[in-house]
Chain A
Amino acid sequence: MAAGSSIDALGQFELHPVLGALGESLRFSQSPMMMIVAAIVVLAFLYVGMRPAAVVPGRLQSAAEMCYDFIHNMAVDTIGPEGRAFFPFVFTLFFFILAGNYLGLLPFSFAFTSHIAVTLALALMVFCLSIIVSLKVQGAKFLAHFMPAGAPKALAPLLIPIEILSFLSRPVSLSIRLFANMVAGHVMFDMFAAFTIMLAGLGFFGDIIAVGPVVINIALMALELLVGALQAYVFAILTCIYLREAVAH
């Protein structure tokens, strides 16, 4: 926010306890509160949408069914028939992130996906799950993936570390991608909003010029709606890709 002539665009990401002393003792900040709101929104969307359970669906039921089909097809098409088992996980992941991204765009709200700790935790969960599934399905053969098939054995000392590094970078890239996109969007919102306030303090011409950042923020909102959905999709599809490699024999 604008403070004097400076802009503090990162203050919006600070965590503060909610629910007073109870929140303080439980380390309950606005981030987990928005996670609960996101979970409630996702569950309400499905429960309310599917309440008619009609063979010929209404608009909300259609939307719920389309979301179900979208993630189901993504999981099964990418992972294969085994994808059915991971479908609830991918669905939860996608809609948890999507709801978090979109709720963060509302006034008085907070985007919990703008915290690296959250995105890294989600990425590590996916990473660990893919390793567990790999070991369960492939056993020790899982380690053979670190030596590309057909590559000369002489190159093994070079290729294996590269492959291991590439494998270990997955949770890093997965988490930073989402985190960076969310942070960038919200910082830009804050910057342009601060510009508006600062310009408005410059007098008559400032008032006129101050409209510019408002218009840019409106355009940014459209962009952030796209980015929010896209990042949730990227996270989910990469999860599916990692799981496909894990279940592949």
Chain B
Amino acid sequence: MARAVMYDNIRRAGTVLASSALALPLMAMVAPGARAEGMPQLDFGNPYVIGQVVWGAGIFLVLYLLLSRSALPKVEKVLSLRRQTIETDLGIAHKAKTRADEAVADLHEARRKALADAQANVDKVVEEARLAAARQTEEMNARLATEIQDAETRIAQARGQALASVREISTTTAETLIHQLSGIAAPADFVTAKVGSAAAARGL
């Protein structure tokens, strides 16, 4: 029984504390003794109702003047400065991009030109090498032709000399053969004439 009473007292105390805590801010909103009869807003006999309009007009005017003359132009100034900065930076970026594009185009042109020059140089060197090789070949051919001609001349001379000795050798050989076979010494003029006619018949 005593425990139940104690529990009840604790609960009541807690309820009062909780209610007070919740009610405090709300109660504080109302001035002491404020008990409205109808809507206080419509009590135009209350001088404070009209007073707040007069004060409100003054406060609104001051707020308007401060905002329009000072605070808002400050915001506008920052915003326009930002717009200006962004536009300037965009302009610089556009110019830089244009310059970069031009540089890339120049680079491509220079690369193309270098490639063309290199190709021309390669072609020129190849042509020069080809011409030099042709010239060397011609010179070699000419030298070989001269050497061949010289050799042929020498061969012809040697052949001429050899052919010139054929009649003499044939005459000597014929006289020796006749002497060996018949024991008779054939007249030299006869043998020479016969060898000469035989050689002429064979084109020697």
Contact = CB atoms under 8 A, between A and B. Distances in A.
Interface string A36-59: 100100110011001001110100
A233 interface: no
Nearest to A71: B72
A6 B125 CA distance: 115
Given A14-B40, A65-B79, A92-B63, A29 B25 contact: no
Interface stretch (A112-120, A137-145, A147-155, A235-243): A112-120
B4 interface: no
B71 A43 contact: yes
Interface string B48-62: 111111111101101
A11 B64 contact: no
A114 B41 contact: yes
A53 B71 CA distance: 12
B46 interface: yes
A35 to B, nearest CB: 4
A26 to B, nearest CB: 8
A43 B67 contact: yes
A197 interface: yes
A110 B28 CA distance: 11
A8 interface: yes
B34 A14 contact: yes
Contacts of A36: 59
Contacts of A35: 52, 55-56, 59-60
Interface residues of A, number: 69
Contact of A55 (B67, B71, B82): B82
Contacts of A43: 63, 66-67, 71
A172 interface: no
B78 interface: yes
B203 interface: no
Query: In the complex, which of the residues B19, B36, B52, B82 has the most CB atoms of chain A within 10 Å of its own CB atom?
Result: B52
B74 interface: yes
Interface stretch (A157-165, A200-208, A223-231): A200-208
A88 B19 CA distance: 46
Contact of B75 (A46, A115, A214): A46
A167 interface: no
Contacts of B68: 88-89, 92
Interface of B: 11, 14-15, 18-19, 22-23, 25-31, 34-36, 38-42, 44, 46-57, 59-60, 62-64, 66-68, 71-72, 74-79, 81-82, 85
